[in-house]
Chains A and B, each alone.
Chain A
Amino acid sequence: MKTFSEYLESQPLQKFADLGKCENPRIIENLLKSPFPKTGPETFALLSSPAASHYLEEMAQKASALTAQRHGKVIRFYAPLYISNECTNTCTYCGFTMENKIRRKSLNNEECKKEADYLMERGFRHVLLVSGEHQKIVTPEYIGAMVDQCKDFPSISIEVAPFTQEAYETLVAKGVDGLTLYQETYDRETYKSVHLRGKKKDYNWRLAAPERGAFAKMRRINMGVLLGLAPDWRFDSAMAAIHLDYMMKYHWRVQYSVSLPRLCESETDYTPAANVSDKDITQLILAWRLAFPDAGVNVSTREPSYLRDGLIGLGVTHMSAESSTEPGGYCNPQTALKQFDITDERKVDEIFDVLKDKNYEPVWKDWEACMTG
């Protein structure tokens, strides 16, 4: 079996770049009306092109029906639990970057338990443990200890530094069933220019991490790019589509989803290389849905409420709510420790009302770790 890096070398990347620049409306019309609409990264590239941006309503109608058919009229809710903002990387765009003189904090067992209890009390049953990447502090062992504090959650995901397959295996054995890991950008030049110091400089180590997670039997893997980092966000997203397509074909037992985080204000003075508008992100979500009917799509509280509401039914399957992006932020908010500002600050009840209006149902619990064989 080829690794993803090897597979990527055999891919006609220029072709994907060209498809993503498509300006010919007829190609998009034909694609949308094709009796055998092809799925996969080529279709994704075309549907995220400038030509397709004039067909958002047509795409939305199809995406809406497809989402209901494949995923149901439900949105699965989760909450991030920031366990540590300690980080040994210098990433010019991130609030946790080593240079930033924010207070550093890693939760201890008791603090983590309190945060977990708070989220349980709010109704969440799926928690995403998030941390900075610190080689000595945020180790697999430390994360394992935090997972132990979250035992009441039926489903636990992690968004941490890329680890070895063995480390992932020990975390899976502890009850972690989901891995979230963004390449940030697939553009090697951009990657190099924003990741200045630390282990994160190693592009290939990160690139192969989802595959290591799959080998370690993660049930769910969530991938994506940080939009706005690379100048050509369309091609960057198409690269993620190639990666997802590879994962779906070679690690077909895993449930996949994508996230489309946009760079937003953090405690750095980084200026995004590209502006990805609300319309652009809507187009991308529709393209993901139509090109990968079975992949989940996450939308976090980074996005404004009007956009999150509008996107319900158009492809989104997972949403976070009431999020805090600092360690300990639920029980003891200090705001000085956070990674970025959230935009949608509504309580879940308000969001549920919107769902109800749209004839959608919220889902808290979707899996129970003890069922994992």
Chain B
Amino acid sequence: MNDDLVIAGRSFGSRFFVGTGKFSSNQAMLSAVEASGSELVTVALRRLDLDSENGENITDALDPEKYLILPNTSGAATAEEAVTIAKLAYAAGMPKWVKLEIHPDPRYLLPDPIETLKAAEILVKEGFTVMPYINADPVLAKRLEEVGTATVMPLGAPIGCNQGLQTKEMIGIIIEQATIPVVVDAGLGAPSHAAAAMEMGADAVLVNTALAAAGDPAAMGKAFAAATEAGRTAYLCGLAPKSQRAEASSPLTSFLK
């Protein structure tokens, strides 16, 4: 059975997405991406030197045939900045897709829900495929869906902290209510975290720090990809009963003759 993930009409065979920051070298990043089998890689536009010669940017190392190179607006503190960054990326020849990240708070880099909704509305109207990074807020997820974003990307925990699914309950509600793919982004520090998110029914996960900071990013990329697939398979076949708790109490259906 084909279980490709489809986002805005584009199919992805792998449900594991990778961020490209924090790696010790472009080579380390590339080998991690390759080993993971990922088909979607997000790149911070602010890191790119748009005037540079070939060979100096991350994007030059990535084969656009193999990967969707998803520009992100990391660094933007307002809707206006994010919209500008998205347009710049598109003008620089990148796909008309954007991972919308707006974090005015420089410590935890938590996303600003109000600016994100504002920017999403503008970018959708301008024809962008918008994938917003958000806190795990189910109402915000519905509001973004209504303005036409292609996915929502709730965080499992503050970005870069590797703490795993701290927002599990809220992500569960987002998944239950969503009509667009839910990509769990940020905070996933171990393959088991990715598996847990997928078991719950997340459509994909995105990981950066846990790969970049690992002793062997390529091996870790492989481990995450395997965990993502395992979680997906478990979700599709339905988890088996956890325990056989007795539930003895007075009968409630004895009124039926």
Contact = CB atoms under 8 A, between A and B. Distances in A.
Interface of A: 29-30, 33-36, 38-40, 56-58, 60-61, 64, 248-250, 252, 278-279, 282, 306-307, 309-310, 313-314
B1 interface: no
Interface bracket on B = 20 to 34
B170 to A, nearest CB: 15
B238 A34 contact: yes
Contacts of B238: 30, 34, 38
Contacts of A314: 252-253
B251 A36 contact: no
Contact of A33 (B176, B244, B255): B244
A61 B241 contact: no
A250 B251 CA distance: 38
B252 A313 contact: yes
Contacts of B179: 249-250
28 contacts: A30-B240, A30-B241, A33-B244, A34-B238, A34-B239, A34-B241, A34-B242, A35-B239, A36-B199, A38-B238, A56-B253, A56-B256, A57-B253, A60-B252, A60-B253, A61-B247, A249-B177, A249-B178, A249-B179, A250-B179, A278-B256, A282-B253, A282-B256, A307-B255, A310-B255, A310-B256, A313-B252, A314-B252
B142 interface: yes
Nearest to B245: A33
A64 to B, nearest CB: 6
Say what secondary structure dominates the interface of chain B.
loop
A248 B179 CA distance: 10
A58 B256 CA distance: 14
B176, B255, B256 pick with most chain A CB within 10 angstroms: B256
Nearest to B252: A60
A278 B255 CA distance: 10
Nearest to A286: B253
A33 B242 contact: yes
Nearest to B139: A252
B152 interface: no
A306 to B, nearest CB: 6
A53 to B, nearest CB: 11
Interface of B: 142, 176-179, 199-201, 238-244, 247, 249, 251-253, 255-256
A314 B254 CA distance: 12
Contacts of B249: 61
B254 to A, nearest CB: 8
Contacts of B176: 39-40
B241 to A, nearest CB: 4
A33 B241 contact: yes
B141 to A, nearest CB: 10
Contacts of A282: 253, 256
A252 B177 contact: yes
Given A57-B251, A249-B177, 9 more contacts: A30-B238, A34-B240, A35-B241, A38-B238, A39-B176, A60-B253, A252-B177, A310-B253, A314-B253
Nearest to A249: B179
A39 B172 CA distance: 11
A278 B253 CA distance: 11
Contacts of A252: 142, 177
B150 to A, nearest CB: 14
Nearest to A61: B247
A249 B174 CA distance: 11
A249 B179 CA distance: 7
A222 to B, nearest CB: 20
Contacts of A35: 239, 241-242
Contacts of A307: 255
Given A34-B238, A34-B241, A61-B247, A248 B177 contact: yes
A279 B257 CA distance: 8
Given A33-B244, A36-B200, A250-B179, A61 B252 contact: yes
Nearest to B141: A252
Contacts of B201: 36
Q: Which 10 A-B pairs have the closest CB atoms?
A: A310-B255, A33-B241, A60-B252, A35-B242, A56-B253, A60-B253, A249-B179, A57-B253, A279-B256, A252-B142
Contacts of B244: 33
A36 to B, nearest CB: 6
